[in-house]
Chains A and B, each alone.
Chain A
Amino acid sequence: MATDLRPAFADIDEELFDVDQIPMTSRDVRSVGEMLFDVDYLARQLLMDVGGDDAGTLLRSWPTLVAAAEDLWASLPGRRPGVDERDRPITSLSAQAATIEASLTGRKAWPGQGPTNPRVDQMTQTLLNAAALVRRYSAEIPHEQTEAHRDLEAARTRIMHGLYLTAHAVNVALHDNGRDRVTDDRESGRRVQLAQHHSPYAVAPTGVWVDRMAVCENTARNYLSDRFAQALTGEAMRPVDDPGRLAQALANWDIQSHRALARHLQPSNIVLITRTQGLIAGASMVLVHAAASAGVLEPSDRLVPAIADAGRSWNNLASRWGDLVLPGTRLEGPLARAAAEVRAAYRQLTHDSTTLATPEIIATRPGLANAMMVSLRAIEASSELAHVVAEKADNPNLTGPARALSRRAHNDIESGQAKRPAEEDVVWVSPSDILAKRRVALPRPVAEALRTTSVSTAVAAGVASRVADLHGWQDPLSVASPTAGSGCPSRGRAGLVAPPSVPGTGRHLGR
């Protein structure tokens, strides 16, 4: 810990007895809990504001932050003698950070020598102050008592939480930095060799740091996700550059959505299903554009409009089911996880960090041809799912919040989506129900429009399905193979164009 030359209370002891003097100290007088809370706050601010320009300073600051965190961790009383499994994640992080520091020392290549990040440095100093405070009073902490034990566990969680957020922020900055480099190179007319894993923007010289920081982030996340048990069992994280990820995600989504729909399902889950189908349609359009620009696909004029129409229909239907949902309604766990994986798998291809990539960039992604293929397969299969979802609209026992349904009923009449009643000024939902925030049965116009929209969605999904089918498909299992790479399907149908990387197969199959 750095020597603190500022006066402490003990240094101005005499003034304590002077009635005209108020003893002042500029030392950090916060409790350890407050300091950890401050580290958490700073890490969140960092993560929300981080950009590509921060990558170098963050990378330089990371090793000292981890060292300070380990110092505080080690200062906490109650450590068991020998190797403590509980400490293994922080020890791993410390070792990883030490090697990063060694690589940075004396390095002339990026990020080279330069300033560190003020926010992370503030976090580091706060952790050091906390460690000093704990060491000073650790003998007084009855760590064997339950309350103190919990307090110490909370401190460890806070430390690791701060490291997790910061590691994630460094990774975001590195990705953004890579993207800025690619953009600059393109604008200056230089050729750019995009990365083939993690992200196309994980280009030299940031790519290697992305790899190393990803390991740090995973170590911290594993500790937090179920404390350290998961990390101890050595559970392998799915590699982010697994080319079969989207195929498996969509296959799992198909299973989970059907399983969920086979049961009585809350509207919140139907919203999730329909919105995810909308996402699949939108992401498929992005992939088709990218595949066309890469010369992997010759889409017919009907493909993109058909998928777009299906996407709009799914989202329109989702909006109607959304009227029936109350905030805080739980989603089915397996369904939510499957949807999250579909979103993550698509983003791996279509996004960089939190930004939608351009078609030209997406076109360079490894596995694009397979991803587009399984995505079109999902569009093809969505026709059947739309019929299953449509059956849910026939349930006569559907209810929803009075206010939302009243508004929807009037809108549906006004827009002509439901039949106008013969009498004027029909009150579809009682004002007393709205005032009392009751759940009410669907008013006739809402139920009618929900059924109509469900049928329209099934029709649109059917059209998209048939057009997607014409653009070829292959056995999803072969696509799901991690070794599938970006190779063109062996049983491709019309619309597919073999990738230029496969010699002798560059014939166009499009009609």
Chain B
Amino acid sequence: MSVLVYTESENGKFKKSAFEVASYAFEVAYQMGTTVTAISFNANENDALGAYGVAKVLNVTNDKLKTFNAKAYAQAIVEAVKKESAKVIVVSSSTDTKFLAPIVAARLSAGYVPNVVAAPESVSPFMVKRTAFSNKGFAHTQIDSDLKLIGVSNNSFGVKENKVATATEAFSPTLGEGDFSALSVEVDKVVGKATIADADIVVSGGRGLKGPENWGMVEELAEILGAATACSKPVSDLGWRPHGEHVGQTGKPVASNLYIAIGISGAIQHLAGVSASKTKVVINSDPEAPFFKAADYGIVGDAFEIVPKLIEKLKDFKAKNA
């Protein structure tokens, strides 16, 4: 019996969420009196997981798995679960993971609970707290199956150090042709820029910015802060920004440390989608904008005056605190 955690990497390097899910797995293992085994794909520096409580790493090295493939990765995870006799499987909430987790759950008849935001409330019965109704509520969900699969919300539990001795072993799951029946033929991805899913800070613009030509200052602000850029639904519907930037109930959820909303009034759907962000700042000329009720800090005023000033002063701040 152990807890198995799927630690995601990109180009061989672990994502920050890998350390968060490992930390979560350690908490579960601690409560259950067992240890954590991780599974990684083509990852380097697997020993780094030891800092977050991972006692053993099953590292899969396979050129066919260089590009993410949901079915093949799921098959490898299922095999690792069986090899380790794992009872609990912990995964992240990335787009890739949400793609593969239901496959793992169905193959193992495991109760799958995604969007989990806190350590288990108890392990017998197994009870976790998760978001529901698109962040407008929480559910306390009991998992009754023998095998349990938990998807941890990004940036909710946090990265926690628990140093243990760790050992890495090569793991070669049996993959057949059928595992590659859906094949990636082209990936179009921005490199070297923070994504909404992983960024600590997200800078977002709404219709108050009047047109796509005015996004230069949003991008500049994001660049200074190392932030990802996002937008409201009307902005993506108008085609001012790509759909992938739409955050909110029907777009991407945001769970950053800091969310800055510029010229976004704060429709209920938008506020739901960004509510998991820890600190929210609103800049809007309308003091009655609903976003002011959901924000931690606000400036009432014209974004076209405030944002350039903010950029200038943040440059000074960054220069001083570099």
Determine if chain A interacts with chain B.
no
- Please give the residue numbers on chain A whose beta carbons come within 8 Å of chain B beta carbons, in ascending order: none
